[in-house]
Amino acid sequence: MVTAAISGLGVALPPATAQDDLWDGYFARHYAGSRSGLARRIFANAGVRTRQAVVSPLLEDVSEWSTERRMRRYQAEVMPLGKAAVSRALADAGIAAGDLGLFAVCSCTGYATPGLDILLARDMGMSPNLQRLVVGHMGCYAALPGLGTVSDFVTARGRPALLLCAELTSLHLQPAGSRTDIQQIVSHALFSDAAAAVVVTADSPGYAVREVAAITDTSTADHMTWEITDQGFRMGLSPRVPSVLAAHVRGLVDQVLERHGRTIADVDGWAVHPGGPKILDVVQERLGLDDTALATSRAVLAARGNCSSPTVLLVLDELRRLPNPPRSIIMLAFGPGLTLYVTLLEASTLAA
């Protein structure tokens, strides 16, 4: 049986700015008034030290822009970022763009046709027979169903596939009229921009994709929202999200591991989407993990912020670069639905 394996990974990041500088240089004014003290505390406790953005509010204020203007800027900014991530992933895997059989793109922060899938395929020399897939509006967990889809393609067809996750959350800074909305303060304190790409190939050295599983609690669908407005996309983020994850994360992780004859003790790598400090605290507590298990996820949150769909791939990239890379990795990501995705990866010199 053919096994799909992650054989290449590439990351591209726009310029970074210190969280304190963002607060002092822009958000202190944006949130001036009765909620300024609360906003300052939220920014200070977000677990973020630096964040990157294609459009920094210190240089350019997009908060009053129309959605049309934001989408035009998205197309201009996402192309070079996506191209860089894809180029690095292909080089890491040692394959040419023309060898790809499937190119999948995940993004919830911008839309246009022709989109990234068509334009990058054209500009990077991908085959005219290439199959393409665009996954939109799944949010922070999109990388894992995307990974499952490209892995299924590789298993069924035996041809290489590539997944690109690219998000430009900085383009959705909300106007001053929403400055007293706590959910907007939280999102403005956490979110960041990034692109990450993975190449998946058949029976190759790398991380074999053993299983992708999910659970959705539709009774809490209103806890996390991403609405298109006339002034960009507006985040809704309930403080009850961690409690919903607490109810489901242990059961789903245990089920996936049991199907492969494993337990939590057998996992030596954890790539957990760092949606925020409380999310990571809940996952650590429910899974009974020590502080070292989620150190990489916390470090990515501190250095990169929450970049939506690419973030869990940023964590995976850091794990694989450790002096002693983990052999068995659980990837966890969460998003609207509320939805929880779990992926089991296993390293091998020749996946079988």
Domain boundaries, the chain: 4-202, 206-348
**pLDDT single digits (tens) 132-155:** 999 999 999 999 999 999 999 999
| Residue 212 reports pLDDT greater than 80 | yes
pLDDT at 178: 55
| Residue 193 reports pLDDT greater than 60 | yes
Confidence band of 179 (pLDDT split at 50, 70, 90): very low
**pLDDT single digits (tens) 88-142:** 999 999 999 999 999 999 999 999 999 999 999 999 999 999 999 999 999 999 9
Q: What is the DSSP letter of 284?
A: H
Q: What is the DSSP letter of 306?
A: B
Listed residue (185, 183, 253, 193) closest to 223, CA to CA: 183
| Residue 220 reports pLDDT greater than 80 | yes
pLDDT at 170: 98
Q: What topology does CATH give the domain 206-348?
A: Peroxisomal Thiolase; Chain A, domain 1 (3.40.47)
| Residue 38 DSSP SS3 | helix
Strands 4-12 and 206-216: antiparallel
Least confident range of 175-189, 233-247, 295-309: 175-189
pLDDT at 35: 78
Percent of the chain residues topping a pLDDT of 70 = 97
The first and second tokens of residue 302, run together, are 């501190």
Domains 4-202 and 206-348 share a fold: yes
Residue 292 identity (one-letter amino acid): T
* Contact assessment for residue 200 and residue 147, using Cβ atoms and an 8 Å cutoff: yes
- Mean pLDDT, rounded, for 80-86: 98
Strands 16-18 and 193-202: unpaired
* Contact assessment for residue 343 and residue 272, using Cβ atoms and an 8 Å cutoff: no
- Mean pLDDT, rounded, for 302-312: 98
Residue 344 identity (one-letter amino acid): L
What's the CA angle centered on 78, arms 76 and 81, to 5 degrees? 120
Task: Give the residue ranges of DSSP H helices in 63-166.
Answer: 67-93, 116-123, 143-157
pLDDT at 180: 52
Is residue 160 reached through a cis peptide bond, with omega within 30 degrees of 0 on the bond before it? no
Phi-psi region of 308 (alpha: psi -120 to 50; beta: other; left: phi over 0): left
As a whole number of Å, the CA-based R_g of the chain is 19
- Mean pLDDT, rounded, for 316-344: 97
Q: How far is CA 186 from CA 200, 228, 303, in A?
A: 35, 18, 17
Known catalytic residues?
140
- Mean pLDDT, rounded, for 212-235: 94
- Mean pLDDT, rounded, for 246-260: 97
Q: How far apart are the C-alpha atoms of 245 and 243, rounded to whole Å?
A: 5
Confidence band of 176 (pLDDT split at 50, 70, 90): confident
pLDDT at 181: 83
pLDDT at 351: 38
- Mean pLDDT, rounded, for 61-66: 97
For the chain, what is the mean pLDDT?
A: 95
Residue 5 identity (one-letter amino acid): A
Cα dihedral sign, 229-233-239-240: positive
The CATH code that applies to domain 4-202 is 3.40.47.10
- CB count within 10 Å of CB 210 equals 21
